[in-house]
Every structure is written in C-alpha cells, then in structure tokens.
Amino acid sequence: MKRLRRALTVLVLGFPFTLASSTALAVSTPNYTIANVGAYGGEPSIVSDTQGVLYDTTPSGGTITYRSNNGGTSWTQVTTADPNSGDDCLATDQANSVYLCNLAGSEGVAPLQADVWKSVNHGASWTHGEGAIPQTCGTSCSPFGVDRDWVAASILPPATQTSQAEVVLMYHDFYGPSQIWVNISHDGGATFGPPQEVLASPGVTPGAVTGTVVAQGYTLCNTVPAGVGIAPPGTPHAGRIFVAWIAADLAQNATGCNVSMLQSFHTLWISYSDDNGTTWTPQQAFDAGIGHDSSTPFAGFTLDNQGNPYFGFAINANSNPATCSAESTVGTVQSDTSCEYDMYVIWSSDGGRTWDGGGGLIPGSAKTAYRVNPPSETGTHFFPAIAAGDPGKVDVAYLRTNEILPTDAFGKADPGGCAGPNAPGNPPTYPPTCSWNLYAAQSLNLSAGTAGATWAVTQITKTPMHVGDICNLGIACLAPSSNRNLLDFIQEALDPKGCAHIAYADDNTVNKLRAANQTAGPCIVTRH
C-alpha cells in the first residue's frame, strides 16, 4: 500500500506448539521448499486457479506477473498488463480467468485511480475493465481518488461463462474521509459500475447486528482495506460479497482525519451484501482495545471454501501502551513480552454474522482471538497473511524477528525501531538491528474454539530474508532508518488440494521475489 493512513509519525522444520497448557499438540507440521520467482519486487500477490496454476505479481516496475504450472517449483514471466504500477492484487474465477488490479491511473486522465485487467489465456494478453466514464478515470472512476485496491471474481449461477462473471473492485478513498468503496461488474470485468460506498445508507438486513451509524463512527477518517471476497456457488451464502478493513475508534476520530496515521487500528470490520451490492450489512469482527495496533501494516483476509470469512492479523494485544512506551524509551522493552506484536486469527462459521462465538462489546463480534504463535516464540510478528480451506482449517504466514519493537504511547511501532541503535536519528536504547525470517502456521481445528485449537508452526527461512526496519507507515516512512524495501505485505494462497503457497520478497540473501511452497504435511481442503 503506497499510502497507509492514519499512522503515527512516530527450512527448517519447526515444532508443533499450543496456545496454552490445556491444549493438545498439533499432530504434524507442514514442510516448505523455497523457489525463486523472478526479479526482486515488494508486496507480492499470489493466487491459484482451479487447475493449480499459480500466479504471482509485484508492482515493482509495472504489473510484473509470473505463472507456475508445477506447484511453484518454477516460474515464467507472462505479459505485463500495465507498464505503470501501484497497489496490486490478483484473483481468478471458476473458468480460470485471471484478474489483476492495479493502482496506476494510466488508463485515464484522472489521478489515483484503480484499474482491473483480465486475462483468459493465462497471462498471454490482458483486457482492461472500463469504468463509468470510459478512457477518463480508469476502472474505479472515483472523484475522491483510490488507495489500496483489492479484487474478487466469481461465476454465479445461472451464469456459466467467464464473460458473465461478477467482479468486485474494493478500495478506500484517498482524498476523502477514508471510506470503503466498491465498483461491480456483471459482465466478466469488461465494464464496471460507478463507485458505491458500503456504509452509505445500506438497507435494513434481517438479522443485522451492527448498524451503519456504529460502523461509521469507528471507521470514519481512518481505514486500511484488508480484502474482498465472494462466497462460492453451492455454499450456504453463495454470491455473498464481503469487504473487510481495519479501523480505529470514535475518540481518535475526534482528533480529525490525519494523513499522518495518528490513530492505532484496533478494530476489524466487514460489510457484506447478498443482493449484488445493492444493500450492505456492516459487522464488527473484533476489537483489541484502544492503544493496540493491527496496522502492521495490513491485516490478511480470506474466505474458506464454504464462504466463511477469516482475518489474520498481527497486534500488540497484551500491551499497556504507556508502560511499553516508557520501557521503549529507556531500553527495557526487550524483557517485557507483553509489549510484543503477536500473530492472531479470528473467523466466522456463519458467514460473517458472528465471530468466534461472539461475546464482544458489539453484538456478534469476537471476545477473544486465536493466538497463533506460542508464548515461547517471542519477538515481533509482522506482515500477516492467511488462507483457509475447509471450515475451521487455516494456514497463516508472517515475518518474525527476535527483537521486541519499541512502541509509543498510542501503541504504534516507533519509526526506525528495528534499524538498530546506531542508525541515524535512533536513540542508543533501541534494540539491535532486526533480522527477519518467514514463518508459517497451520490449524486444523479452529472449531475447538480459542482455548482448544492447536497450531503447528514452521520456520521456513534458514537465513533472514530481511535485515533492518520494516516500516508500517506507508509513504510516511522516512529513510534511512525507516526501511520500506519490502513495501507492505506478503500473501498466501491455496492450490486446489489445499496446500499452501506463500509469496514474499527477499532483499537479504538472493534479492529475489520468492515463493515458499508446501511439500509435506496436511493440506486443508478435503471437499473437491
């Protein structure tokens, strides 16, 4: 994400771990092999089609995209849809067409617009999805500009062809108050309707648990889009469109809409539509409390094969912001594991209405989340990614360093906090320069609840794939201490068997775009 809003200026086999002493050890641990994909590029997006063909794209130097026909072992570059690039994403439909979103504005004269490109021949050629005013303002055609776009596509009965697919482009605005928007296509991505705000006067949906006013109060002025999905055909909520984002709270909104990202993003949200985007039902998924920040810099979002939504997110959920800030200043935070960012998951088994059994302050929201990494895996966990197969079966990925990142009184990571005490402008109390490795974790039994689910954790990279700071402030990151080499995320996808593939950038050992491909251990799809 080129602009992350509202932030503070400020293979080796692993071992199966549990969340608490009362839970049983996971049965087995997945193994991964690493493959070079192509030239170095940050924040890669990865997706699989129904035949297991993988696609991986990075916005470094245009929409550079690669394809693998052998489970990620080797990769071939395909045609570049757009020589200009910005925030990108990938999706496929049931006919194995590929959709690529791109924040470049090169298909019109309006600035900061998102485009959707489609390929029906595995990336050999691409066609552009026209917006409400063709050749003027790109696919999005938003008067408020666009930031952090995502795309989803599905062929929903009675449609049978890719030319009839429903395609949803989701983003938040750049110049306005950071609202969540969609543009929807009903002709396979050839043309898209005008921008629709998902919190603007949605219809009263039977069973809705959160009203627009409540959702708007939390999300006004500060959002980070997490993703979009469409529940697949033949599932209980077939055709349901989900959009997901993270936000702050009413009290912080009162300080104004800050491009500098002053707020901490401690609330996670979805809104869903069962009538092709005509009406929307917002729902809070989780609230970690003021002073706890999930913008590290993104939260991951996905659907399982029955159309249930999941978030994967890293957050300093157990910290006392004032205490951790004071300890960060004097250099004692390394001994206080309550200050660390850990990896968490939440999910809904009923299509988004209720999260982890409810119990949160807002009806339907989760009271507690699943902690993924065990207490013994201390340090800082950033860049969450998530993929789900059968309900209750999930794979997550993240980056981890042994160091506990310094934070401020708002619960935000200090800029340059992982660059080391000798970096320009950094105090001598900062921790040593951080070395980051790629990790993956798997649970096959989220249905056992947050106290009963078990996790198998794998450290994938033997040598750090990144050394230094990982800035979570988007374009507010300032060199040289605030390193943004990786840009803003990694991503994970499942092939048709439910085996995991993780796209990430390595700027330390090989300076390449890479993929970690699951080669052993449980895959998480049994319903083909």
CA triple 494-500-501, angle to 5 deg? 90
Q: Which residues pair with 64 in a beta bridge?
A: 58
The pLDDT assigned to 205 comes to 54
What is d(CA 64, CA 84) in angstroms, rounded to the nearest whole number?
A: 10
pTM, two decimals, is: 0.93
- Cβ distance 295 to 313 under 8 Å? no
Q: Where are the domains of the chain?
A: 16-520
For 344, the 3-state DSSP assignment is strand
Q: Give the C-alpha separation, 281 to 211, whole Å.
A: 8
- Tens of pLDDT along the chain (528 residues) come to 433 333 322 222 222 222 332 233 345 899 999 999 999 999 999 999 999 999 999 998 899 999 999 999 999 999 999 999 999 999 999 999 999 999 988 888 888 999 999 999 999 999 999 999 988 899 999 999 999 999 999 999 999 999 999 999 999 998 888 899 999 999 999 999 999 999 875 554 544 445 677 888 888 888 999 999 999 999 999 999 999 999 988 777 777 776 666 678 999 999 999 999 999 999 999 999 999 999 999 999 999 999 999 999 999 999 999 999 999 999 999 999 999 999 999 999 999 999 999 999 999 999 999 999 999 999 999 999 999 999 999 999 999 999 999 999 989 999 899 999 999 989 999 999 999 999 999 999 999 999 999 999 999 999 999 999 998 877 777 788 888 889 999 999 999 999 999 999 999 999 999 999 999 999 999 865
pLDDT at 8: 27
What tokens does 397 get?
A: 């990925």
Structure tokens at 206: 């039977």
407 DSSP assignment: B
Nearest to 51, CA basis, from 501, 496, 527: 496
Q: In whole angstroms, what is the distance from residue 86 CA to residue 101 CA?
A: 9
Residue 52: exposed, middle, or buried by beta-carbon count in 10 A (0-12, 13-18, 19+)? middle
What's the pLDDT score for residue 491?
Answer: 98
Pick the CATH number of 16-520 from 3.30.160.70, 3.40.50.300, 3.30.200.20, 2.120.10.30: 2.120.10.30
Residue 2 is predicted with a pLDDT of 38
Beta pairing partners, 380: 401
Helix ranges (H only) for 309-448 are 321-330
What is the model's pLDDT at position 7? 31
Strands 241-247 and 223-230: antiparallel
* Residue tagged 């849809």 (tokens): 81
Length of the chain: 528
> Quick one: which H or E segment has residue 214?
helix 212-219
Nearest to 395 by CA among 354, 442, 358: 442
